[in-house]
Structure 1
Amino acid sequence: MAARETAYAKINLALHVRSRREDGYHALETLFAFVDQGDTLSASPAPADTLRTTGEFGQEAGDPFANLVTRALGKLPRPGGLSILLEKTLPVAAGLGGGSADAGAVFRIVRDLHGLPDDWRDRAASLGADVPACVESVTCIGRGTGTELEPVASDLADTPVLLVNPRLPLSTGPVFAAWDGADRGPLPTGSVREIALAGRNDLEAPAIGLQPEIAQVLDALRETDPWLARMSGSGATCFALYSSTDALDRAAARLARDRPGWWQLQGRLRP
């Protein structure tokens, strides 16, 4: 039986870095949200697991044996293999959890076809801190390294969102390494909207230090009258939230005209 899943783009409505941990990771508090657009994975039964990539960013997805799709398949016991076609429309190393979202989609495909083992959350976390959140792809709060998840009811479902990336890859490691180590306080409390508005992204400044064009993206987004514009994750993608679809359409058209070289994606926030 064939299966098809969208690997929903992940954004961090807020990302507070609290401390460096002894194990080398960072203690985080983040508000995850997901856009209703992303990569597409099509799967069909096969004698062995295989992966083929297409799409605008397909060539940037890397060695199939290192790709998170292949690694996710290796974490999940099941009868027989799966042949997966990955249409890669999200940029790589972009702060959108693209690889993690792809892995999350694999977990959902296997769940629907065969079911998941009871310890699937641990298996997902072993692939990356964002993967457990990406399996469910719903708004939630992440703590610890981002794997300790707390579900929240979102008052931002269906909010129009614009994602913009200056087509500059930015690896997570150097951004965290450039963080100044200052604890600027915990994630706010309240509704999802209130947390997003009162929150911040502590990786924004170090990311801009490494890729100054991120600041230009944020400035351009803020000129389109969103009610919130912020960098996602460790960058370089930034997002803007709008009060109406018309406002989103105007913003997207303006940036397409003024910055034709930038990548953009329009969508709505999932619940």
Structure 2
Amino acid sequence: MRETAYAKINLALHVRARREDGYHELETVFAFVDAGDELSVQPAPRDELRVVGEFAAGLTDPFGNIVARALSHLPHGPGGWRVTLDKRLPVAAGLGGGSADAGAVFRLVDRAHKLPDDWPQRAAKLGADVPACVASVTCIGRGTGTDLEPLDSDLTGTAVLLVNPRIPLATGPVFAGWNGIDRGPLPDGDARAIALTGRNDLEPSALALVPAIGDVLAALRGTAPLLARMSGSGATCFALYENADVMAAAAHRLRAAHPDWWQLQGKLR
């Protein structure tokens, strides 16, 4: 079996409060690009994980990899699975790459054996973004991101360009740098309205850590997108466009000006 681990972006990300458990109260709109890492699985006597691809070197502990942990959380026997993870998304990039990989494992298990009824709890134990990444459809996340609400998306099919300056950025320091000011809840409306009038409250602290994010945002905003914003805790930024031709032209322009930046072209699911 094969499955794509769809790249996650946050169309808006409002941080509302710090919690006593060290996490933060969030309100966010998760959306997913129609491309990402690729997983393939075959039956095996025991679970095995092989990581290949451009960003494989960023995953140095295969036994601690979230794919291996997801398998250990789910029944998928008899025997095990030999999993090959083609790591196409940058690591520590604000794209939920590891969570997306875990979400793909959940979909593979569901296809082969059906998921257990308590799968949302098992997913949440792996990471706050994992429950949303299982379905990989546009939705609202509250709490730490695990309390999900459906949201009909009028942005499905919208052209999207992802750009990363190839600088890893860990989530913890970005959240630690949040200034603690509650700037208000997500606006009401459909996905497009929330995206256009929302914000990412983590941008200032991410910019302080990786100033190159500002260069990426400026470059994207210079291509006349519908919207350009940082995703998650960074350093990846995204831009939405009216059509694929405009997006492709923007991608060509940025590649010529910044050949060292990583980029991915796609559509929102």
The count of aligned residue pairs is 268
Q: Tell me, what secondary structure is at the counterpart of 1:10?
A: strand
AA partner of residue 197 (structure 1): L
Task: Pick one of 33, 47, 51 that aligns with 1:53.
Answer: 51
Q: Which runs of 5+ in 1 are unaligned?
A: none
Give 2:129's aligned residue.
130
1:78-113 alpha-carbon deviations (Å, 9 max, x no partner): 322110000000000000000000000000001101
Q: C-alpha distance in 1, partners of 2:22/2:29?
A: 22
Q: Tell me, what secondary structure is at the counterpart of 1:104?
A: helix
Moved more, 59-68 or 154-163: 59-68
Report the RMSD for the aligned CA atoms in angstroms. Answer: 0.5
Q: C-alpha distance in 2, partners of 1:163/1:62?
A: 24
Give 1:101's aligned residue.
100
Give 1:214's aligned residue.
213
Give 1:75's aligned residue.
73
Q: C-alpha distance in 2, partners of 1:11/1:232?
A: 5
Give 1:120's aligned residue.
119
Give 2:235's aligned residue.
236
Equivalent residues in 2 for 1:1-271, closer than 5 Å: 3-79=1-77, 80-270=79-269
Q: Tell me, what secondary structure is at the counterpart of 1:19?
A: strand
1:77 Cα shift?
1.8
1:237-270 alpha-carbon deviations (Å, 9 max, x no partner): 0000000111001100000000000000000000
Moved more, 56-65 or 161-170: 56-65
Q: Which runs of 5+ in 2 are unaligned?
A: none
1:187-235 alpha-carbon deviations (Å, 9 max, x no partner): 1110100000110000001000000000000000000110100000000
Percent pairwise identity: 70
Q: Tell me, what secondary structure is at the counterpart of 2:155?
A: coil
AA partner of residue 207 (structure 1): A
1:59 Cα shift?
1.4
AA partner of residue 4 (structure 1): R
AA partner of residue 151 (structure 1): P
Q: Tell me, what secondary structure is at the counterpart of 1:111?
A: helix
1:26-81 alpha-carbon deviations (Å, 9 max, x no partner): 00000000000000000011111100011100111221111100010010023221
Q: C-alpha distance in 2, partners of 1:118/1:144?
A: 22
1:8 Cα shift?
0.1
1:170 Cα shift?
0.1
